[in-house]
């Protein structure tokens, strides 16, 4: 049977919404990569480029008629008008309505940044624009966005929801090995349709579902789903999840994926307000830790210090060594951000010591703590110790096994090898890193080997690096292990007694 192919027509004004149009194209492309493993094809129709003999309007409408989905994006400009006095965007929407094509609409929020030249000021243009928005609101549900990246997540979410309801997709999934996240996605959308928001939240809080989505490059869809059940922005306002404890868990998950964004800041504000309702030192620790991280990222060290002390008070109240160890990391980040590397190193090393005092030590936190200590040692010029600590971070991450932590350790090691002229080991580190990134998060820049090797190519010449890549690509892990052999890492990990974890990285 032929694979289902769906055409997605992108409709918007051009100049004012260029980043947003690109975000939609990227969303369709990324989702196509993910669902392509199930034999499903998504093709974006973007008429910004190319030439054709047909009049522009007729070409646009013809492409709409040939499409399966219309995505309309609106800012504050009505756009160029046809001879009939309506904008091309509205004409495309009307054609999709007539043809009974699936329609999705997204409005750029009032709070977003607009250039003056991207906003209509003529009264007649403003009236037509408002009338068009009213038409959309009367016919379909629509969503709002602030940033292009947020729009990308919304588009992927809504296209995925539409896809899992298409009979050809259902038939394809039934006769092929399904893409793992499809089952969770369908369960989530079914629960949402039935008004069972707690079950929908349960899907989102599942570690395996989250990792599946990240591994298929659709992590931003997960973030958009969490925003939906929380009622953060968009068309779902007021909050779908009322239970304070469940809402608090979802807010922390959303904040983790939205740090240094307006939406993340708003979620953090709400999470802080829930602290009295939850009334548990563990939650107070987690939310205060996120608050301190946000102030450190904003370089507000005067505000960060009292927050860190408050966080430590709650960590102590839990009487949990794991929590006490986790409390040291933000302190280390606080000092490291200010260039106080000795103080930062003391905090990270205290984290190592606390984890090792646990009856059953956490290998995830231990890998992180060794990596952070290695970074500070490099800043202090203690390169042998730096390699030792980051080598231990990598060794622990391999045992768990956890790709993300392996990638983080390899970033440091490859950069450090390159700094000391160990080009072969550095290239092997980057080759290994890129493979792991492609497996765990294909949308990450770390999966782009050419980008990772950019500085080395400038320094040594592209041809030289290309030849060395060819020489090490089949034995990248072995080359890195040889470079780290003086540190006897295998014996170190055995001495810790760390065993593989079922929650490692969902291999």
Task: Write out the H or E segment, with its range, that includes residue 360.
Answer: none
247-278: pLDDT as tens digits: 999 999 999 988 888 788 989 999 999 999 99
CB 397 within 8 A of CB 501: no
48-82: pLDDT as tens digits: 644 445 558 888 999 999 999 999 999 999 998 98
Q: Is residue 24 part of a domain?
A: yes
Q: Is residue 51 part of a domain?
A: yes
| Predicted local distance difference test score (pLDDT) of residue 1 | 46
Q: In this structure, what is the dihedral angle of CA atoms 459, 465, 469, 472, given to the nearest 10 degrees?
A: -70
270-323: pLDDT as tens digits: 999 999 999 999 999 999 999 999 999 999 999 999 999 999 999 999 999 999
Maximum alpha-carbon separation in the chain: 78
Cα separation, 365 vs 147, in Å, equals 33
The pLDDT of 400-418, averaged and rounded, is: 94
Cα separation, 114 vs 149, in Å, equals 16
**Looking at the predicted structure, is the pLDDT value of residue 147 above 90?**
no
3-57: pLDDT as tens digits: 688 999 999 998 899 999 999 999 998 888 878 777 788 999 987 644 445 558 8
Provide the pLDDT confidence category of residue 178 given band limits of 50, 70 and 90: low
The pLDDT of 415-431, averaged and rounded, is: 95
Q: Please indicate whether residue 355 or residue 502 has the higher confidence score (pLDDT).
A: 355
| 35-38 contacts at long range (C-beta below 8 A, 24 or more positions apart) | 35/160, 35/163, 35/179, 35/182, 37/179, 37/216, 38/169, 38/172, 38/173, 38/176, 38/178, 38/179, 38/182
440-477: pLDDT as tens digits: 877 788 999 999 999 999 999 999 999 999 999 999 99
| Domain carrying residue 47 | 5-171
Q: Is residue 260 part of a domain?
A: no
Tokens of 137: 């609101």
C-alpha distances in Å from residue 173, one per residue of 4, 164, 185, 470: 11, 9, 13, 38
- CATH number of the CATH domain containing 59: 3.40.50.10140
Cα separation, 268 vs 248, in Å, equals 10
Q: Is residue 212 part of a domain?
A: no
| Predicted local distance difference test score (pLDDT) of residue 233 | 59
Asked whether the CA dihedral 276, 282, 287, 292 is positive or negative, the reply is: positive
C-alpha distances in Å from residue 140, one per residue of 9, 93, 136: 17, 11, 6
| Predicted local distance difference test score (pLDDT) of residue 50 | 46
Q: Is residue 206 part of a domain?
A: no
Q: Which position has the token pair 């959303």?
A: 254
CB 70 within 8 A of CB 102: yes
**Looking at the predicted structure, is the pLDDT value of residue 430 above 60?**
yes
**b vs e for 304-338, b when ≥16 Cβ sit within 10 Å of the residue's Cβ?**
beebbebbbebbeebeebbbbbbbbbbbbbbbbee
- Angle, helices 219-230 vs 148-163, to 10°: value is 90
Rg (CA), the chain: 26
pTM here?
Answer: 0.80
* DSSP, res 179: P
Q: Is residue 62 part of a domain?
A: yes
Boundary (domain end) residue, out of 152, 171, 190: 171
Task: Write out the H or E segment, with its range, that includes residue 501.
Answer: none
Q: Into how many domains does the chain fold?
A: 2
Boundary (domain end) residue, out of 122, 153, 171: 171
11: phi then psi, degrees, rounded to nearest 5: -125, 120
Boundary (domain end) residue, out of 117, 139, 171: 171
Instruction: Tell me the three state secondary structure of residue 44.
Output: strand
Contacts (Cβ under 8 Å, ≥6 apart) of 352: 366, 369, 370, 373
CB 304 within 8 A of CB 290: no
Q: Is residue 27 part of a domain?
A: yes
Lowest-confidence region among 1-5, 197-201, 330-334, 338-342: 1-5
Q: Is residue 227 part of a domain?
A: no
């Amino acid at each position: 049977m032929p694979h289902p192919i769906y055409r997605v027509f992108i409709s918007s004004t051009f100049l004012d919404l260029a980043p947003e149009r690109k975000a939609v194209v990227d969303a369709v492309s990324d989702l196509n990569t993910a669902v392509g493993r199930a034999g499903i094809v998504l093709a974006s129709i973007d008429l910004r480029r190319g030439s054709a003999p047909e009049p522009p309007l007729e070409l646009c409408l013809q492409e709409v008629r040939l499409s399966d989905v219309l995505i309309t994006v609106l800012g504050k400009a009505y756009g160029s008008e046809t001879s009939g006095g309506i904008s091309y965007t509205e004409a495309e929407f009307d054609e999709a309505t007539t043809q009974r094509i699936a329609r999705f609409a997204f409005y750029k929020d009032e709070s977003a940044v607009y250039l003056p030249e991207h906003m209509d000021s003529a009264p007649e243009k403003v009236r037509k624009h408002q009338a068009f928005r009213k038409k959309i609101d009367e016919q379909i549900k629509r969503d709002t966005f602030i940033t292009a990246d947020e729009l990308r997540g919304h588009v992927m979410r809504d296209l995925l929801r539409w896809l899992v309801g298409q009979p050809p997709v259902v038939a394809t999934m039934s006769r092929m090995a399904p893409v793992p996240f499809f089952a969770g996605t369908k369960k989530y959308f079914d629960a949402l349709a039935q008004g069972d928001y707690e079950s929908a939240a349960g899907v989102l809080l599942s570690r395996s579902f989250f990792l599946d989505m990240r591994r298929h490059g659709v992590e931003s869809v997960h973030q958009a789903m969490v925003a939906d059940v929380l009622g953060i922005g968009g068309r779902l306002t007021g909050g779908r999840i009322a239970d304070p404890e469940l809402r608090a868990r979802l807010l922390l998950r959303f904040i983790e994926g939205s740090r240094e964004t307006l939406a993340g800041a708003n979620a953090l504000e709400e999470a802080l307000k829930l602290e009295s309702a939850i009334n548990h030192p563990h939650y107070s620790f987690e939310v205060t830790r996120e608050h301190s991280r946000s102030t450190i990222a904003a370089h507000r060290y005067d505000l960060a210090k009292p927050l860190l002390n408050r966080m430590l008070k709650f960590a102590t109240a839990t009487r949990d060594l794991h929590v006490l160890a986790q409390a040291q990391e933000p302190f280390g980040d606080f000092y490291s951000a200010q260039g106080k590397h000795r103080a930062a190193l003391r905090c990270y090393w205290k984290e190592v010591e606390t984890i090792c005092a646990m009856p059953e030590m956490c290998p995830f936190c231990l890998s992180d703590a060794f990596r952070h200590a290695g970074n500070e040692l490099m800043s202090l010029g203690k390169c042998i110790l730096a390699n030792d600590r980051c080598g231990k971070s990598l060794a622990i991450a391999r045992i768990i096994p956890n790709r993300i932590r392996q990638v983080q350790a390899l970033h440091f090691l490859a950069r450090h090898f390159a700094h000391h002229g160990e080009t072969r080991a550095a290239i092997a580190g980057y080759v290994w890193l890129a493979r792991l990134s492609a497996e765990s998060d294909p949308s990450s820049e770390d999966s782009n080997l050419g980008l990772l090797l950019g500085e080395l190519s400038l320094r040594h010449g592209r041809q030289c690096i290309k030849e060395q890549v060819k020489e090490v690509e089949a034995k990248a892990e072995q080359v890195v292990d040889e470079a780290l052999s003086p540190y006897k890492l295998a014996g170190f990990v055995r001495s810790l007694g760390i065993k593989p974890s079922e929650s490692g990285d969902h291999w």
